[in-house]
Amino acid sequence: MIHWRWDKGEDAWVDEGCAELAMWLFGHPDTISGFNGNPDDCLTSWNGYYSDYVKVYLWTLYLFEHYGEYAGNALINTLVHEPANSIQGVNNALDDVGVEEDFVDIFKDWVVANYLDDISIYEGQYGYETENLPHFHEYKTWDEYPTDWHNSTLNHWAGEYVKFVSNGLWYNLLLEFNGADSTEYALRTIWMDGDSSIQVVDMELNDSNDGELNIPDFGYDYQTVIMVPEGIASSGSTGYSYSADAGGEYITLKSFSAENADDGIVLKWVVASNEQFKGFNLYRTPLIDSQSHSLDKVNTTGIMVGNKAEYTKVNGEIITGSNPFSYKDRGVRENESYVYVLEVVIDDDSRENLGDVRVNREPWVPTSFGITMVYPNPASETISCLLNIPEVRDIEIDVYDISGRLVLSKVVDICEKGEVEAKIDVSELQSGVYSIHATQVDAEAIARVVVSR
């Protein structure tokens, strides 16, 4: 009734939107349903259905949250008093309160916000602070590529969502759009990694409403792409068509690394591919500065032959699995440098070298002090105590008999980190069970040994 007092001729969709906002301000908003299941519903058309109330409520709430500035609510107040109706009235109100965006700009954001409802990105542009929206239904979902050209229609001042899902392979995904010439469209895409929104990217359309957009590394960087066509005119044909195509077959090495482990070198790699493959092989050669390491072929003995260097196959069985792939090579020597080459085996048994990585096998340094082995056990003359040494500090070794009496003590000079062998002369000890206590600073390790005569 307040709106009717100031603007008796206002269009129903604006009037009812303000009334819905009043219900929200009073603490009794309508439940959001209906519209989210069929978002292809013209914002400026009013039929009195429940979904109509929900769509104009969300539109007006979006205006209020993003442009009403809460204190004083200048935009909504101006809109109620604005004598012009419908879209023109909204534009006039926006201009009066100094908002640079017009109805079309805000409408395009609003359609995306209804799908994402995430105020943590883009400074809150694509979400609601005071509402938690249910999921907005996708008109169509695709998971196989290429698609045929698909025909559809879209109401004026409405948007819908077409979902493209990676099927476990990796592509450069090409989206193409062709809209009717007699109307106007906007087209936005949402690139997502899992359930987290990553980017909102516009597809530029020409004067004929045609456009295309390439999404690189679809299935690797982005698991899902949502295409959001939006009708941004009040008249004209409502038809459009689109297609999605994957790039040609390829396998790309995204990363390949090598790092030292306690008992070897761990190789890790990630690939992007839309081509089926059986798995991988790894080849290794010691790195010599004067050698060339480009590869030619694999000879019959399993040694990969390069121009001057020979590569030995590391793995026995072909390496399979999923991203990220990994393999531990235990056949390396400390203080030597190596080159590893990664080979992919395609389904037709053809092979391709993807890349190489260089690494120096460094002496293993344990992260904590401890006794790893005592041998021989039982012993009679001398025992060897293998110790993990994380820092260069002397070790004190004490030997106690079963009653807890100290029977032997020695200090071991430590010159380097890693695994150290300390020998203990037990030839003077009687037969029995003994406890070995090794101490380095505040760290202590204990092991038992049997002396037998």
Task: Walk me through the domains of the chain, giving residue ranges and CATH numbers.
Answer: 2-124 (no CATH), 140-246 (2.60.120.380), 254-361 (2.60.40.10), 370-451 (2.60.40.3080)
Contact between 412 and 395 under an 8 Å Cβ cutoff? The reply is: yes
How do beta strands 150-153 and 303-306 pair? unpaired
Residue 443: pLDDT band (50, 70, 90) is: very high
Cα–Cα distances in angstroms (integers) from residue 101 to residues 69, 108, 124, 173, 329, in the given order: 15, 11, 16, 32, 60
Residues in Cβ contact with 282 at an 8 Å cutoff, skipping those fewer than 6 apart: 267, 313, 314, 315, 319, 327, 329, 340, 341, 342, 343
- Return mean pLDDT, the chain: 88
Residue 274: pLDDT band (50, 70, 90) is: low
| Token pair 């121009």 in the structure block, residue | 307
For residue 19, which amino acid is it? A
- Residue 294: its pLDDT value, please? 46
Q: What strands, in cross-sheet order, belong to the sheet with 370-375?
A: 370-375, 382-389, 418-425
71 burial type by CB count under 10 A (0-12 exposed, 13-18 middle, 19+ buried): exposed
Token readout for 419 is: 């695994």
Residue 306: pLDDT band (50, 70, 90) is: very low
Q: Which of 103, 99, 272 is nearest to 173 (CA)?
A: 272
Q: Convert the pLDDT of each residue in 22-49 to its tens digit.
A: 999 888 899 999 999 999 999 999 999 9
- Residue 340: its pLDDT value, please? 94
Residue 262: pLDDT band (50, 70, 90) is: confident
| High-pLDDT (> 70) share of the chain, % | 90
Average of pLDDT values for 242-255?
82
Q: Convert the pLDDT of each residue in 55-94 to its tens digit.
A: 999 999 999 999 876 443 788 888 988 889 999 999 999 9
Q: Convert the pLDDT of each residue in 180-198 to its tens digit.
A: 999 999 999 999 987 666 8
Phi, psi of 149 (to 5 degrees): -65, 125
pTM of the model: 0.62
In three-state secondary structure terms, 94 is helix
* Residues paired with 328 in a beta bridge: 266
Phi, psi of 368 (to 5 degrees): -145, 155
- Residue 451: its pLDDT value, please? 94
For residue 441, which amino acid is it? V
Q: Convert the pLDDT of each residue in 195-245 to its tens digit.
A: 666 899 999 999 999 999 998 878 878 889 999 999 999 998 889 999 999
Token readout for 265 is: 């070198």
Q: Which of 145, 126, 57, 67 is nearest to 100 (CA)?
A: 67
- Bigger pLDDT: 95 or 287? 95
d(CA 64, CA 26): 14
Average of pLDDT values for 291-315?
53
- Residue 193: its pLDDT value, please? 86
Residue 449: pLDDT band (50, 70, 90) is: very high
